[in-house]
Amino acid sequence: MSRKALLIALFVSLTVNVFVVGALAGAALTNLRPPPPERSRGGGPMGPAVAALSPGAQEEWRSALRDGQPGVAARFREARMIRRAAWARLGADQVDTQAVLKELERARAIDGETRAELDRRIVSFAAGLTPEDRKRFAQALAQPRGGPRERRGPSGGGAALGGGHPGLLDR
């Protein structure tokens, strides 16, 4: 074998070895990460409360959820689209602040109406539960879930949203 062919083979071998070692290191590091937390069978923000119910009541909840979910999701989606469009209007050369605020108010109203409807459905569902199920359901609903919203406070705003300027949202 010529010296040139030997150098080419050595270079190719080193290159392949670098990729193999990198792949093995990546696989090892990936396996070191903890697995993502499993979601409860109830799923979503209501998961812990639904998990506290008896199996029969859980099935009633899933049935009630199937009946009302499409309209609720569509209204939240509509509010989200309105809000995004309003925020996008801030990038225009001439900003119509009143129009942006009006659209944000409209999105907030849709959110509020939809959340109120969900609250009515939850209360109505809970009223039909056995006293034991209702007590467990209420206790689970009252527990903070530890998400970012609970850490920031009930309004979901505060310094975390203001980018470290606590008074920004108070103006």
Q: What is the residue-wise DSSP string for 97-133?
A: HHHHHHHHHHHHHHHHHHHHHHHHHHHHHHHTS-HHH
CATH 1.20.120 is held by the domain 47-143: yes
pTM of the model as a whole: 0.55
CB burial of 21-39 (b: ≥16 within 10 Å; e: otherwise) equals: eeeeeeeeeeeeeeeeeee
Q: Does residue 22 surpass a pLDDT of 60?
A: yes
pLDDT mean across residues, the chain: 78
Tokens for 59?
A: 């099935």
- Per residue in 99-131, pLDDT tens? 999 999 999 999 999 889 888 888 888 888 889
